[in-house]
Amino acid sequence: MDYNPQRALELLRIGTGICDAAFRDGQEEAIRQVVAGRHRLLVVQKTGWGKSFVYFIAVKLLREAGQGPALLISPLLSLMRNQIAAAERMGVRAATIHSDNRDDWPEVEAGFLANEVDILLISPERLANEHFRSEVLASVASRISLLVVDEAHCISDWGHDFRPHYRLLERIARQLPPNLRLLATTATANNRVMDDLRTVLGPNLAVSRGDLHRPSLALQTIRLPGQAERLAWLAEQIPNLSGSGIIYTLTVRDAVQVAVWLASRGLNVAAYTGETGDRRPELEQALLDNRVKALVATTALGMGYDKPDLAFVIHYQTPGSVVAYYQQVGRAGRALAAAYGVLLGGKEDADIIDFFIESAFPTEGEVETVLSELECHPNGLSVPELETLVNLSRGRIQKTLELLALESPAPIVKQGSKWQLTGARLGLRFWQRARRLTAQRRAEQIQMREYLALGSGHMAFLIRALDGEPGATPSPSLPPLPQTASGDLVREATAFLRHTSLSIQPRRQWPAGGMPLFGLKGKIALNHQAEAGKALCVWGDAGWGGLVRRGKYRDGRFPDELVLACDKLVRAWNMDPAPAWVTYIPSLRHPDLMPDFARRLAQALGLPFHAVLEKTAERPEQKGMANSTQQARNLDGSLDIRQAVPRGSVLLLDDMVDSRWTITVAAWCLRRHGSGPVWPLALALTGHDE
C-alpha cells in the first residue's frame, strides 16, 4: 500500500505533543518499510530513539487504509503505560492482555474479535494459552496486518529460560503468511542475538541498525568488593548528583536492603522489584516527576520505562552480560547533555550470576528423574504430586516441565493440571542448545569482568561487544566520581548490615500427604504452631553471615560477638509473652555447637536454659532436600522430648533455617508437651526455603 509521509509526520507530532517534532534518523524509513514494504524488519536502535513510535504510527496508517488489527508481543507490558498513552493521543485504540488485568481479558478479547481494537498487546505466555490461540488468534490470523515483537533480544536472552514462551514465536512465525508484515525492535543485538533472531523470525530479516554510541553518558567502573563499602559510597555520592536516577541490583533482597539503608541516611528512595505489586505505577510516576531521588530496582524496572531526563544509572552489582548492561544503563541521559552511568563491582556478583547461569536449564539428572516418574504414572502427575516423588524444588520441576513442553515435538504435554508423556523422545538438540547457551553466558560473564576492570574507553568497549563500530566515542564533560568511600560511612554501613534482622514466618499447614510417622496432616493446630521468629542474618552474607559460617565450619564455636548481637536483637524484639526460658534444636553432626551458644545467650539474657529436645534419628541435612514436601518428610519422626518441658514461653534457638520445617516440628513437640508460645531465633537464613 502507499505510504503518506505528511500523515506520518502529523501523527508523530500528535503523539509527542511537540508541534515541530521531526523524525529521528532512520525512524521514518522504518515506518515506510513496515507500511509499504510487506516484509520482515528488525530495528536495532538505542534506548530513547523512539521505536514505539515506529510501530504505533505504522499501525495507525495501516488502519486508516482499511487494514486489519496488529498484534504486539512484549515481555513487560505493565511498563508500557507511557507508550500506550502516546498511541492513544494519535487515535490508536490499544488494548493489553497481561497478568495484571485478568478481569479485563474477556472484554479485551471481544473487542479484538469485533475489530474494535487497532493493536492488541500481549505477553509471550499468551501464545501458550490454548483458549487464546484457538478462540482468538485463529479467528483473526488472516486479518492481522502487522506482527510486532518488542524487545526482540529477549528471544535470545530470555527465551531459553527466564521467559521460555518466547520460543513459541518461532512456531508462530513459521505459520504466518510469508508476506505478513513483521517488525521486531530492540536496543541491543550483538551477533549472537542476531543469529537467534534470524533462526526464530526467518532468514529474510531486513535490519535497520543505528549508531550505538550514547554521547551523553559518562561511564565509569569502580571496584568496591564489600557491601558496606558500596553502601557507604552510595550514601556519600547520591546526594551530590543532580536530578534523579535508578540504582540497579541483581536480587530483590539487595534492592530492599539498599533502599532501607539510603532511606536511613535521609535520602528519598524506594525499592522497585517484581514483588512491589500494585505500587509500581505510583513509584514509576514518582520517579518521572522527580519526587524521589532514586528507585532501587531489579530488572523489573527496565524495558518499557521511559524517563528522558534520568540523570544517573548506578549498578550496585555487575549484570551478567553487555546486552543486559547496555539496556539498563542506556535509560540514563536520553534528553540530557550529560548523565552518569556507574558500575560498582562486588565480590558477590560472580556467585549470583553463576547461580543464574547454572539454574537456567535442567540437568540431565533432573530431566531423567521427572520423565521416569511420568513414565511410571501413565495418567499423569501434577507438580505437587511430583514434589512428593522427586527431590527437586518446585521451581526446578516447573522449569523442567515448561522447557520440555516447548520442544518440537514435545516429549510431555499438560492435560488439565497433570503432565503426561507423549510418544516423542527428547532430542539431542535440547542439550546442544543448553550447552551452547551456557558457554555463551560464561563468555559474556567474563566480558563484563573485563569491562569492570577498565580505566577508560568504556563506551567503545560496549559498542565493540555489541558488534558495532565504535568510531570516535567522546564522553560528556562530567567529573569522574570518587573511587572510595569515607571510613566513617563504611563503619556505619557495617553497623547497619549487622543490625538488621529477618523474619521467619511460621508454617500453618503440614505438607501434602502429611507426616505419617508423627500421624499429622492438614492444618497445624493454632496452639501447636511456632510464633513469628527472627534470624540475625543471611548465611555467608555481609554483616554477621561470615561469622556464622566461620563459627560453624572452621572454629566449631560461635563467637561472643554473635551472642551479644542476639542478646541485643531479643531485647528489642518485644515478644508477648516474653520468653521464660531458652532451648535449642539439637544436631547429631554438631552436637556441642548450639548447646554451647544457647547456654551463653541464656546467661546473657538472665534466663534459665533447658535442653529438652533430642534428635532420635540421623537424617540427611535439610539443605539437601530440594522442596517443601521432601524437607518435611525428612524430619518426620526425627525429633522428640527427652525430659520434662518447663511451662512458659520459650526462645527456641537454631543455627540455620533452611525450610522452616525443623522449627515447625520442634515447636509442635514443645507445645504438645506443655510449653508456652515458642519464639524461634536463628543465627542465619540459608536462602533454600521456597
Strands 294-297 and 181-186: unpaired
Amino acid 123: pLDDT: 83
C-alpha cell at 225: 568488593
d(CA 296, CA 298): 7
SS3 456: coil
Q: How far is CA 63 from the centre of its chain?
A: 37
d(CA 298, CA 376): 41
Amino acid 398: pLDDT: 92
Amino acid 160: pLDDT: 57
C-alpha cell at 380: 499423569
| Gyration radius of the chain's alpha carbons | 28
d(CA 111, CA 117): 6
Listed by start position, the domains of the chain span: 5-209, 217-349+451-489, 356-432, 499-685
Amino acid 422: pLDDT: 95
Contact predicate 156/192, CB 8 Å: yes
Question: What sections of 478-627 are H helices per DSSP?
Answer: 487-498, 545-550, 560-571, 593-605
Q: Which fold has domain 356-432?
A: Arc Repressor Mutant, subunit A (1.10.10)
Amino acid 424: pLDDT: 94
Domains 5-209 and 217-349+451-489 share a fold: yes
Amino acid 38: pLDDT: 65
b/e code 281-299 from CB counts within 10 Å (16+ = b): eebbebbbeeebbbbbbbb
CATH top-level class of 217-349+451-489: alpha beta
Amino acid 180: pLDDT: 82
* Residues of the chain with confidence (pLDDT) below 70: 38, 76-80, 82, 157-163, 302-304, 687-690
d(CA 610, CA 580): 11
The total of other beta-carbon atoms located within 10 Å of residue 163's CB is: 17
Site of grid cell 488468534? 137
d(CA 543, CA 310): 32
Q: Which fold has domain 499-685?
A: Rossmann fold (3.40.50)
Contact predicate 538/684, CB 8 Å: yes
Amino acid 79: pLDDT: 59
The 10s digit of each residue's pLDDT in 45-92 is 887 788 889 999 999 999 999 999 999 988 766 556 767 888 889 999
User: Cβ neighbours of residue 391 under 8 Å, at least 6 residues apart?
Assistant: 624, 625, 626, 627, 630
Alpha-carbon separation of residue 106 from 99, 102, 132 (angstroms): 13, 8, 10
CATH top-level class of 5-209: alpha beta
- Which amino acid would we find at residue 28? E
The 10s digit of each residue's pLDDT in 100-157 is 778 888 999 999 999 999 999 988 888 877 788 888 888 888 888 999 988 887 777 5
